[in-house]
Amino acid sequence: MLKRRIFLIPVFVITTLTFTYCTGKPELSRTEFALGTVCSVTLYDKGNPAIYRDIFSRLREIENYMSVNLPDTDVARINAAAGVAPVQVHDDVFKVIQKALYFAEISGGAFDPTVGPLVSLWGIGSENPRVPSQAEIDAALSLINWRDVELDKEQRSVFLRRPGMALDLGAIAKGYAADEAAVIIRKAGLKQAIIDLGGNILVYGEKKDKSPWRVSVQDPLEDRGRSLGVITGPEATMVTSGVYERFFEADGQQYHHIFSPFNGYPADTGLLSVTIISKNSIDADALSTAVFVLGYEKGRALIEPLEGTEAVFVFNDQSVRKTEGANLKINNNSYILIPD
């Protein structure tokens, strides 16, 4: 499926920092495990412990509402009641599911928050990942359809129409969480910050010396921290979906964690990673997954009309393409930028 390369990261690594910073020494930052990944927040102007506390407790709150890996979250309750009854959820969950359905629609179902049965079946990132049989994949596929999610705005409830259906917000929740962390930073009146939720990066405000932010794009074939290039620009969010984030190997093949809802296999569109640059992290998160599944041509057609949204596409043969407004400089000889 993928060209075999030497991955030095362990097979079950769940947390990968897909970007490194080139912003100089942080004055102060805090790193904690949340949302199933390593989360780092850097507050350049005021490293006030109360603000860090607020941010990390907000991240945990979002995880406690949306995770499928914790018992009793809103999403776990929606899944348990699939085919039976609507479930009332917190505002955050309702908003994220609404957004997820929007991105499912505009991506023609490439992004699909009802991908849960496939995620459980393959178990990628769990202790027992495996390649399922075709019959199992077909059974899971029959349960996947974002159109079978019913939202009731007044009740703030969510209903999955068929038993066995399951939501998985893993491709969008971290983006929402990064945006919510930025809300806290804005309310606190801070001027510069970096939020990194396992590779979901949000650079906030303006650097003191007014120079642009510089964010490295992970080399998808190398150890984390090794970059293929640097994106420069003003306040923005950069989110990457890549084959290296979560995968396992069987019979000499690598199987990663981003599924095609069309055939039930890890999406194989010739891409190693897609980075989306935009204003909102929730959009960038959903779009990076959607574009990865759609592949270069359809993916690019999806994002070109979206204002303030840019992309970097890294292909299996280590060529790189980008949209016009993506300010990327390659700094790694193994990669080559193909001009439009």
In the three-class reduction of DSSP (H, G, I as helix; E, B as strand; rest coil), residue 17 is classed as coil
Site string for Mg ion, 256-285 (x = CB under 5 A): -----------------------------x
Q: How far apart are CA 84 and CA 73, in angstroms?
A: 17
Residue 92, interface with Mg ion (CB under 5 A)? no
Instruction: Describe the strand order of the beta sheet including 157-160 as a list of residue ranges.
Output: 87-88, 157-160, 149-152
Residue 261, interface with ligand AMP (CB under 6 A)? yes
**How many amino acids of this chain bind ligand AMP (CB under 6 A)?**
19
- Single residue of 17, 55, 119, 195 touching ligand AMP by CB under 6 A: 119
- Single residue of 63, 74, 92, 112 touching ligand AMP by CB under 6 A: 112
Residue 76, interface with ligand AMP (CB under 6 A)? no
- Single residue of 75, 93, 100, 171 touching Mg ion by CB under 5 A: 171
> CB of 61: closest distance to ligand AMP in angstroms?
20
Write out the DSSP string of 154-179: TTTEEEESSTT-----TTTHHHHHHH
Site string for ligand AMP, 278-297 (x = CB under 6 A): -------x--xx---x----
Cβ-contact 313, 320 below 8 angstroms = yes
> CB of 91: closest distance to ligand AMP in angstroms?
21
Residue 47 CB-density burial (10 A; 0-12 exposed, 13-18 middle, 19+ buried):
middle
Cβ-contact 338, 321 below 8 angstroms = yes
Q: How far apart are CA 278 and CA 266, in angstroms?
A: 25
Tell me which residues touch ligand AMP (CB under 6 A): 111-113, 115, 119, 168, 170-171, 241, 245-246, 257-259, 261, 285, 288-289, 293
